[in-house]
Amino acid sequence: MSNSAKLTQGSTFKHVVSMSLMGALGLMCMFVVDLVDMLFLSMLGEKEAVAAVGFSSAILFFTISLSIAVSIAATALVSKAIGEGDIELAKRRAVNVLAFGIFFSSAVVWLMWPKIPNILLFVGATGRTLDLATGYLQILVLGMPAVMISMIGSGIMRALGDARRAMYATLIGGLINAVLDPIFIFAFGLGVQGAAIASLLARFSMIAVSYYGVVYVHKMLGEFDLMDFFKDAKSITVVAVPVMLTNMSSPLANAIVMAHTSTFGDDAVAAVAVIGRIIPVVFGGVFALSGAVGPILGQNYGAGRFDRMHSTISSAVIYAFGYCMVLCIILYQMQDWLVDVFNATQGSADLIRFFATFVSFSFFFQSLLFISIAAFNNLGKPLNSTLLNFGRATFGTWPLIVVFSLFMGAEGILFGQAIGSVIFGCLGLYMARNYITQLEKKETKDMVSSRPINFDELI
């Protein structure tokens, strides 16, 4: 076994916590900048600007989800090769996933850019909000290839167990964004477009950080060979496409929620936009679980350590419960401060308080879904992740928010989402545990059937 497979040794709980917290720092930095964007734009005293970013976020989450999907493919394929001790195969897969990501993201930008106004109309943006959202989104979408490259680089480093360097790309990108935001928004007087330009420049800065970690520190990129790329294309696609579909379901759910929220007016849309910025900052440690659990499972699967795979799932659940308990209490205590900071109107403030008081702990159950998705993506059943996440995005979202909003108004939208998270989180965890048990039984059976017959044992 290669010494690089360090996730096959030591405490699984320690690996889950360290990998999750490192990933969370990077994610939270990125989302803190989004939160600061919203804060700066709210200072303009124009609720259409805040609503515009809210509508744009539903679409941007779609593009980011595609990038995350390809990075998950990189993590799954590279971590398994590392667990098997095949470093050359890991390097070959790393460079080929990177090439796949560059081609794919460029194609998405080319297809999506001219259709942005129509997409925003579909999710409910109108009037000045539509104009502001269109300008904001048309700038930021151009940065998708940069996000794709940096996320794939981070995925490769997570596959090696180097969560600290994987964090650096988003951390440094977020810091650059935070510095440029007030300059472009206020000093240059560009408002919403200034926020988009600052974010675009920050995303391109992330490439250099990821490239340095993968190429110069770990030396994990092999030479690109077109024939090798075609050989690996099937393996990449088998993982990446279902994961893309899985991740597309989250922006689909967000779009459904935003479209239904728009029927309650701009105050409700602004509140959901603020909550959408609060969630990743507060629950960054939960969102990072998939990126943390995946490489641990991948390396141990490659090494045949099923005992550690079971332990990893249990450790992740314990970590998620403790994390959510602490952060939900903090969020409850901070709700009035959040209302004041974002200059929320009475309608928006009521929704923010309702979320902090009654809905926030549902993210523990959503974390169970993240854990199960990581298991299926990294253990050869990405289609199960797709079915689970699409189930949550459709049956676990639209009918529930429609029914509960009839009785509870806009608050029913948040409550319906929470109920969907509880149902599909519990279902996903049960399926993931059962699947790992099946893999273990299959491995044991294959080992027994392939073992040479010892005739002395038969006497």
Domain that holds residue 155: 17-443
Distance (Å, rounded) from C-alpha 454 to C-alpha 82? 33
In a domain, 457, yes or no: no
Encoding tokens for residue 75? Answer: 């993590």
Q: What is the pLDDT of residues 329-369, one digit of tens each?
A: 999 999 999 888 888 888 889 999 999 999 999 999 999 99
Distance of CA 403 to the CA centre of its chain: 28
Is residue 12 assigned to a domain?
no
The answer to whether residue 448 is domain-embedded is no
Amino acid at 379: L
- Asked if the structure places residue 407 within a domain, the reply is yes
Q: What tokens does 94 get?
A: 């790393």
And the tokens for 82? 């590392």
On the 0-12 / 13-18 / 19+ scale of CB atoms within 10 A, 39 is middle
For residue 135, which amino acid is it? G
Stretch 21-45: mean pLDDT: 73
* pLDDT given at position 173: 85
> How far is residue 459's CA from residue 452's CA, in Å, rounded to a whole number?
15
Average pLDDT over residues 35-51: 75
- 383 and 377 Cβ atoms separated by less than 8 Å: no
What is the model's pTM?
A: 0.78
- Tens of pLDDT, residue by residue over 207-250, are 888 888 898 888 888 888 888 898 888 888 888 888 878 777 77
Residue 54 lies in a domain: yes
Q: Tell me, what's the pLDDT at 92?
A: 92
pLDDT at 3: 43
* Cβ-based neighbour number of residue 231 at 10 Å: 12
96 three-class SS: helix
Domain assignment present for residue 73? The answer is yes
338 within a domain of the structure (yes/no): yes
Total domains in the chain come to: 1
Specify if 452 maps to a domain. no
